[in-house]
A and B are shown apart, each in its own frame.
Chain A
Amino acid sequence: MYFLLAWRNIWRNKRRSLITILSITFAVLLACVMRSMQLGSYARMIDNSVRFYTGYIQIHKQGYWNDKVIDNSFEYDALLQKKVSHLQGLKLDVPRLESFALASFQSQTKGTLVMGVDPDKENELTRVKEKIVQGTFIKSDDDGILLAQGLAEYLNAQVGDTLTLISQGYHGANAAGLFPVRGIARFPLPFQNNQLIYMALPKAQWFYAAPGLVTSVSLLINKPDNTDRVVAQLKSEIDAKVYEVMGWKELVPDLLQSIELDNISGKVMLWVLYLVIGFGMFGTYLMMTAERKYEFGVMMAVGMQRLRLQAVIFLEISMMTTVGVLTGIILSLPILTYFHFHPIHYGKEAAKAIESFGVEAVYPFSLDPVIFTNQAYAIFIMAIVLSAYPLWTIYKMNPVESMRS
């Protein structure tokens, strides 16, 4: 019956309660969409550069990150492999030998980035195969190479053509070779699309005269959030003088910084939104207390304890809040789900600008549950704090005085 009482009290001023509930709904909806968009784009940015390129964690020879030369390569030996394989939540380890080479075909020549990879592992990390537009991916014992589309177009090379690569190998050795093109792949990021060459790891080690050596091992872990923990674990187990271990936050610090900056501005907007809604909620609580003073007085006079009366009012506030929050979440779900699976594409101009930062120009929405729970917490905490006013009023109320008015 207390529940019934609270429920009916909400509807005695239909318009006001509806406005209150709808304003909460609107705030939650707006906040969810905003956060989903932001978190989704962050996830996409991180994915683009981390998931499809650097991996969440990388192991290098100590000093490689500051001086990325082939001489700073190391042996991914059995002992290191064993330590890596015991890491918590490890999904995949991807060894690479990266360096530069001059590629020429007929009259064209261009500087390129050569990646010696284990084709299967590389594909699992970066899904290169999905990007292939012509020919096939390389095999693990392949003599041939995979070209990025932009590079292929520049060189005017097709599948089946043979390129000449020239570079400097390990410890100054000469590096030169002929490499048939097995496939061409299109990469979303311009800096990759214009210069990337994939080569099987053994072939790259042969080319650079660096047998058994790699420049980096990228790790893919189950939960990106665990990156710091896994990095710490790895650091404690291997010799820090020989190896350097870096999490993705160190690998792409600029990205992280711009994400954090954007995140702060997003949060400020949320707070402003909540402030506005909070005033609305408070106004409702204020009025529902003021206009029912007489009634509260009668209830206390006939024997209702203050605490019980407070409980009924709190129940009213909670119900209004819950209905508002749930409706907001329910309304936002289809919108978020739709844009999660059908990301917004930027207009041509904006797309160019964004791609130049190395990020794909699409806006997928995030469906992270945190988006919903955070809005719910924020509104509920606000409701609890603001309900202090009616509860305090009841606590201080004198039934005789409130009935005199």
Chain B
Amino acid sequence: MATLIQATEVSKVYHKTTVPVNALNGVTLRIEEGEFTAIVGPSGCGKTTLLNILGGLDHPTQGKVEIDGTDITTMKDSDLIDFRLHTIGFVFQAYNLIPVLTAKENIEFIMLLQKKSKKEREIRAIELLTRMGMVDKANQRPGELSGGQQQRVAVARALASNPRFILADEPTANLDSTSASNLLDLMAEINREQKATFVFSTHDQRVMDKARRLVTLRDGAIISDITR
């Protein structure tokens, strides 16, 4: 399998408070195509910071991140935005969706940014909604959907741009356990069927159990990396 993400000696120091916070301490991590990987660890260990840096949302204080061999740590802002649009799918903990757009429009929106044709957008949006079991909710706005349904639409949106991989920061944190495990099962299925690469963070033991690779962080450093 080809290397998709290569993070080398990544450190992040926050200077917001009087005492600098070392959120990440020299993390080196390689993610290959088709992985289904969970980043786990106690609160404050640096999971969000790591995912943000891998996704080009934040710059590391030291070290570099290459995606498909491209160093994203030196990219300029607007190039990075376009890079994210075409290469990475994002799922956040909550409020992923644009509240004034329907489920279908939210999925189309990302393709609109990619300048896909109306026809193509519609076909793909319906296809993804069907895949996520949400086609009957296509014309509902996020406010009318449950948390689990919203996250499924968010995953559909992340997939819509045909990204190289999907980053999901605690996608199940706001869900009850049934919805959480349903969402994870769906993600796992898509990972298997379409070879879509997923990297997600979680607290939840049952979610961790579904991951094939488990990277554990503590105090900004990797303390274990197990592939099952």
Contacts and interface: CB of A to CB of B under 8 A. Distances in A.
Partners in one complex: yes
Interface string B72-93: 0000011001101110011010
Contacts of B77: 306
Contacts of A1: 105, 108-109, 112
Contacts of A86: none
State which size class the interface on A falls in.
20 to 34
A303 B110 contact: yes
Contacts of A5: 98, 100-101, 109
Contact of B90 (A9, A302, A305, A306): A302
B90 A301 contact: yes
Nearest to B108: A1
Interface string A282-316: 00000000000011001111111110100000000
Interface in A368-405: 399-400, 403
B86 A303 contact: yes
A301 B105 contact: no
Interface in A1-53: 1-2, 4-5, 8-9, 12
Interface string A192-224: 000000000000000000000000000000000
Nearest to A11: B100
Interface centre among A294, A300, A302 (most CB of B within 10 A): A302
B52 interface: yes
B81 A298 contact: no
A298 B92 contact: yes
Contacts of A308: 113
Contacts of B105: 1, 4
B44 interface: no
B82 A305 contact: yes
Contacts of B157: 302
Nearest to A299: B98
A154 to B, nearest CB: 77
A400 B100 contact: no
**Residue in B57, B77, B110 with the greatest tally of chain A CB atoms within 10 Å:** B57
Nearest to A1: B112
B187 to A, nearest CB: 17
B69 to A, nearest CB: 20
Contacts of B100: 5, 8-9, 12
Contact of A400 (B52, B98, B112, B158): B52
A305 B58 contact: no
Contacts of A403: 92
Interface in B159-207: 161
A79 to B, nearest CB: 73
A300 B99 contact: no
A304 B95 contact: no
B108 A304 contact: no
B129 to A, nearest CB: 17
Given A1-B108, A9-B100, A298-B95, A305 B78 contact: yes
Given A294-B95, A295-B95, A299-B98, A400 B57 contact: yes
A6 to B, nearest CB: 9
A168 to B, nearest CB: 86
Nearest to B114: A303
B8 interface: no
A138 B30 CA distance: 108
Contacts of B96: 298
Contacts of B58: 400
A110 to B, nearest CB: 80
A89 B225 CA distance: 91
A1 B115 CA distance: 12
B112 A303 contact: no
B82 A301 contact: no
Nearest to A300: B81
A399 B89 CA distance: 15
A303 B78 CA distance: 9
B60 to A, nearest CB: 12
B67 to A, nearest CB: 14
A8 B81 contact: no
Contact of B78 (A4, A302, A306, A400): A306
Interface of B: 52, 55, 57-58, 77-78, 81-82, 84-86, 89-90, 92, 95-96, 98-101, 105, 108-110, 112-114, 157-158, 161
18 contacts: A1-B109, A5-B98, A5-B100, A5-B101, A5-B109, A298-B95, A301-B92, A302-B85, A302-B90, A302-B110, A302-B157, A303-B81, A303-B86, A303-B113, A306-B77, A306-B81, A400-B52, A403-B92
Given A4-B105, A301-B57, A302-B113, 15 more contacts: A5-B101, A5-B109, A8-B100, A9-B100, A295-B95, A295-B98, A298-B90, A301-B92, A302-B110, A302-B158, A303-B81, A303-B85, A303-B86, A305-B82, A400-B58
